[in-house]
Amino acid sequence: MKEVIKYFKANGGYARMSQLKQAGIHTSIIKTMMQQGIIERVKPGLYRLFDIDPKSDISISFIDVCTAVPQRI
């Protein structure tokens, strides 16, 4: 799981399921990490580290939206 956490951190704390699959990370690992509270689902197919630390005063919810629909913001 440490490698998966490194993957998330390298991507700003977020990852899409398609990216995780391409990186060879099985869906069962993602499910386990969600159950353990390490990551959480932002929306179907998009996940983030639970303890992500935004680098500014920007709300984590705003960052979630911008990551979920980057072409709309």
Predicted confidence (pLDDT) per residue in 27-69, tens digit: 999 999 999 999 999 889 999 898 866 555 455 555 555 566 5
CATH of range 2-68; options 1.25.40, 1.10.3470, 1.10.287, 1.10.10:
1.10.10
Q: Give every CB contact of residue 67 below 8 A, 6+ residues apart in sequence.
A: 12, 14, 42, 46, 48
Does the pTM of the predicted model rise above 0.85?
no
Q: Tell me, what's the pLDDT at 50?
A: 86
CA dist., res. 69 & res. 55, Å (int): 20
Q: What is the model's pLDDT at position 4?
A: 94
Domain residue spans in the chain?
A: 2-68
More confident of the two residues 15 and 73? 15
Per the DSSP assignment, residues forming a β-bridge with 14 are 48
